[in-house]
Amino acid sequence: MFNSCASESNMQSIDDRLNSLLSKMTLEEKIGQMNQYSSFWDVTGPAPKEGSAAVQFEQLKNGLVGSMLNVHGVENVRKLQQIAVEETRLGIPLIFGFDVIHGFKTISPIPLAEAASWDLEAIELSAKNAALEASAAGINWTFAPMVDISRDARWGRVMEGAGEDPYLGSKIAFARVKGFQGDDLSAPTTIAACAKHFAGYGFPEAGKEYNSVDIGTQTLHNMVMPPFKATIEAGVRTFMNSFSQLNGVPATGSQYLQRTLLKDQWNFDGFVVSDWGSIEEMVEHGYAKDAKQAAQIAVEAGSDMDMQSLAYVDHLTDLVKSGVVQEALIDDAVRRILRVKFELGLFDDPYKYCNIEREKATIGHEKFQEATLEMAKKSIVLLKNKNQLLPLKKKGLNIALIGDLADDKTSPLGNWILAAEKNSAVSVLEGMKTYEGNNLEFSVGVKLNTGALEFAKELNINTTDKSDFPAAIKLAKKSDVVVMVLGEHGFHSGEGRSRTQLGLPGLQQELLEQVFKVNQNIILVLNNGRPLVLDWADQYIPAIVEAWQLGSQSGNAIAQVLYGDYNPSGKLPMSFPKSLGQVPIYYNYKSTGRPTLPSTDEVFWSHYQDEQNAPLYTFGYGLSYTTFAYSNLKINSQTDTTIDVSVEVTNTGNVQGKEVVQLYIKDHFARPTQPIKSLKGFELIDLNPNQTKTVHFTLTETQLGFYDNDGNFTVQPGDFSIYVGGDSTTKLNTKFKL
Ligand code: BGC
């Protein structure tokens, strides 16, 4: 049985219980709550006897650890919780964190792919299912959602976010937090969410992982912050700071971010966890002279829990006892951490996530597979479909399926697959085989990687071995249609996976061009975790399907789209550059003083000599097997605070289809200046052939205002345009004055 404080009545208010507990804690025990370790030994094996694991084990037994990460499975979690609850003086339960980023055991599409669905209900459900599955395995806290806006496809972590736009990003951030946390955090099926990485991590210079971030106040307040704020509105209980420095201050040591903005202005009463080792990394940043000073800076800045750098457990006691750090700061941090533990109900039942029967009945349940299949289909974006090569006929075709990724059952799972089984995704080959009316033959074409593929290790991309080319070319030659599955392995994107080239990695481009020489009827199915440069493919390949990394049901989802059993409706959440040199490229840029081609042939306007300004595929872009027409955009009514806009959308094709109707505004004159267009509303509608729907949007002041350079929200009167359409280049517009 668990001891006294864990069994205290839950009838008392959390505050009373918190205060009473805090008053019993020694300084060391308080600091222990601020200490988080990654799983440091095989819990089901013998207790560690030597080295750092033995030290950490002793600390755990002495109540000097508040949280663990990377431990999962009821048996493991229960064993550790038992030590915390039954062997430590006060019996304070641990909180167990895990990167439940896109699913747990059942894997959903990577977050960037889910964002392409623009389907908030589906995204919320995906997070809810992930919480259901993870909580059955002992987890009660996820390090998600990552809500970092990014415009730079070189940065590998764009796969984990919702793309480049703060409005879409905010809606998705809200939905994900709701999905994870539900309406009742104390239910055994919901888990605490964590908004990360606070803040600016998505803007590393040159797209290089962990690089410095140097952005102005406009970008900070209007691009980076909105999704974080949305998570606060959704009631997120934790934040994670970031590895990077923002304008010269490591985020982990930033009082402005963590205290002024987050805790004071936004009234956040949950806790902030550091990123892995980021407290001590302030020494490498050149911001703290040693780990001890780093601990001081971090705690003063408002980093409440130290993930894995040991700086708090090693130095905070000294810092407080010598009067350098105020104990009140420790109390504040501990109060926040304990509050979340109380809210999760861990003090009432520390083993509430440790039900072995529930674990058995839940993990990998069929209903998660069904839901992830739906999510995967919704995430697919049709980029090109010349001469309606797609959908494929179901009978009588000889189809060549080419590409290493086509029969890969691990890569489609994507990057964050810590609890998933390797080789567990449905491959494209398997998915296509379920359609038996055609003659399908597979040829690998070219091996994508050589050597082992691991989450934490550098990949070796095959750049020399073309021995599989001839067989694939021969197969393509005799086939009616070629489906080529090319792109990035799941481990090509993610943390530590920045790239300077954004084409198809390795020898895949060469293979594509060789196959094209013998058969031009190619459907290119892309697997990737970031926008790629696809200029050649766009010029020559008739059909291109963006299929990201779609998770456990990937191959089934792709096959259903290729055969037209599902009509794709995804829209890009990030612009796809035409050339690498355009990066960072995004639709909501600001006008220059010389935005347009002058009438003469002079060079003095904002452009490139060797490339157009526009991306290859813009934000919000995506095709369908049907077509949509927009008409009758009008402002129906305007009050001081709201504007009601409507537009008619008609399905002008032959099949039923879904369309993401997007509304953008342009604020013609503002100080500071505003982007040339900003997304301010969208709606996903379903239309039968020839059906028309009137879609209404209500714009409020919040949507028309912005943050000035002092971080104050302002709404400025003046001339606005409203644009409505199926992507961010839409021309259909109307005007109003505010
Ligand atoms: C990542 C975080 C993640 C943490 C724990 C870090 O390397 O930046 O996003 O949650 O590890 O795994």
* pLDDT tens-digit series, residues 402-446: 999 999 999 999 999 999 999 999 999 999 999 999 999 999 999
Q: Which of 99, 157, 197 to mutate to test the pocket of ligand 1 (most atoms within 8 A of CB)?
A: 99
Q: Which atom of ligand 1 is nearest to the CA of 197?
A: 9
The answer to whether residue 465 sits within a structural domain is yes
- When pLDDT is cut at 50, 70 and 90, the band that residue 8 belongs to is very low
Mean pLDDT, rounded, of the chain: 96
Asked whether residue 485 is assigned to any structural domain, the reply reads: yes
- Specify whether 530 is located in the same domain as 633: no
Specify the ligand 1 atom closest to the Cα of 146.
Answer: 9
Q: Residue 7's pLDDT band (boundaries 50, 70, 90)?
A: very low
Residues 432 and 570 in one domain: yes
pLDDT tens, residue by residue, 15-36: 999 999 999 999 999 999 999 9
Does residue 559 belong to any structural domain of this protein?
Answer: yes
Q: Could you tell me if 483 and 391 lie in one domain?
A: yes
Q: What is the mean pLDDT of residues 335-358?
A: 98
Residues 381 and 457 in one domain: yes
The arithmetic mean of pLDDT across residues 550-560, rounded, is 98
- pLDDT higher than threshold 50 for residue 540: yes
Q: What is the atom index within ligand 1 of the atom nearest the CA of 194?
A: 10
Q: How far is CA 631 from CA 649, 681, 716, 727, 729, in A?
A: 7, 17, 29, 15, 16
Alpha carbon separation from 251 to 149, 241, 248, 254, 264 (Å, rounded): 16, 6, 9, 5, 16
At residue 214 the predicted structure's pLDDT band, cuts being 50, 70 and 90, is very high
Q: Is the pLDDT of residue 10 over 60?
A: no
Given a contact cutoff of 8 angstroms between Cβ atoms, the answer to whether 300 and 255 are in contact is yes
Is residue 556 in some structural domain?
A: yes
Residue 728 has pLDDT above 90, yes or no: yes
Q: What is the 73 CA–ligand 1 centroid distance (Å)?
A: 20
Residues 511 and 401 in one domain: yes
Q: Cβ distance 42 to 9 under 8 Å?
A: no
Pocket probe mutation, ligand 1, options 157, 275, 280, max atoms within 8 Å of Cβ: 275
Q: What is the 3-state secondary structure (H, E, C) of 302-350?
A: CCCEEECCCHHHHHHHHHHHCCCCCHHHHHHHHHHHHHHHHHHCCCCCC
| Higher-confidence position of 146 and 6 | 146
The ligand 1 atom at the shortest distance from the C-alpha of residue 243 is 8
Query: From CA 226, how far away is CA 268, in angstroms rounded?
Result: 15
DSSP E strands, 552-677: 628-638, 642-651, 657-667
- pLDDT band with cut points at 50, 70 and 90 for residue 11: low
Check 152, 165, 275, 408 and give the catalytic one.
275
Query: Are 566 and 635 within one domain?
Result: no
**Are 718 and 639 members of one domain?**
yes
User: Does a structural domain hold residue 84?
Assistant: no
> How would residue 44 be classed by pLDDT, with cut points 50, 70 and 90?
confident
CATH of the domain at 716: 2.60.40.10
Query: pLDDT-based confidence at 539, cuts 50/70/90?
Result: very high
Who lines ligand 1 at CB under 6 A? 69, 99, 143, 196, 275-276, 495
Q: List strands edge to edge, sheet with 95-98.
A: 141-142, 95-98, 67-69, 35-38, 306-307
Residue 602 lies in a domain: no
Find the 276 Cα to ligand 1 centroid distance in Å. Answer: 6
- CATH number of the CATH domain containing 383: 3.40.50.1700
Nearest CA to ligand 1 atom 8: 275
**pLDDT reading at 505 higher than 50:** yes
Q: Is the pLDDT of residue 5 over 70?
A: no
Describe the chain by its helix, strand, coil percentages, rounded to 5: 35, 20, 45
548/671 same-domain check? no
Q: Is 80 exceeded by the pLDDT of residue 528?
A: yes
Return d(Cα 37, Cα 40) in angstroms, integer: 7
Q: How far apart are CA 352 and CA 585, in angstroms?
A: 47
Our answer to whether residue 408 is catalytic in this structure is: no
CA 252 to ligand 1 center in whole angstroms: 14
pLDDT recorded at residue 1: 36
Among 574, 596, 618, which residue terminates a domain? 574
User: What's the CA-to-centroid distance between 520 and ligand 1, angstroms?
Assistant: 43
Q: Is there a single domain that holds both residue 559 and residue 658?
A: no
The sign of the dihedral angle between the CA atoms of 186, 191, 197, 203 is: negative
Same domain, 411 and 499: yes
Q: What are 59-114's pLDDT values in tens digits?
A: 999 999 999 999 999 999 999 999 999 999 999 999 999 999 999 999 999 999 99
Q: Could you tell me the distance, in angstroms and rounded to a whole number, from the CA of residue 174 to the centre of ligand 1?
A: 20
Residues 565 and 423 in one domain: yes
Q: Which residues pair with 306 in a beta bridge?
A: 35
What pLDDT, in 10s, does the model give residues 650-704? 999 999 999 999 999 999 999 999 999 999 999 999 999 999 999 999 999 889 9
Task: Answer yes or no: are the C-beta atoms of 152 and 582 closer than 8 Å.
Answer: no
Domain of 687? 628-737
The answer to whether residue 276 sits within a structural domain is no
Other CB atoms closer than 10 Å to residue 16's CB: what's the count? Answer: 12
Write the residue with the smallest CA distance to atom 7 of ligand 1. 276
Asked if 550 and 656 sit in the same domain, the reply is no
Q: Is 6 within a domain?
A: no
Nearest CA to ligand 1 atom 11: 276
Total number of domains constituting the chain: 2
Return the CA Rg of the chain.
Answer: 26
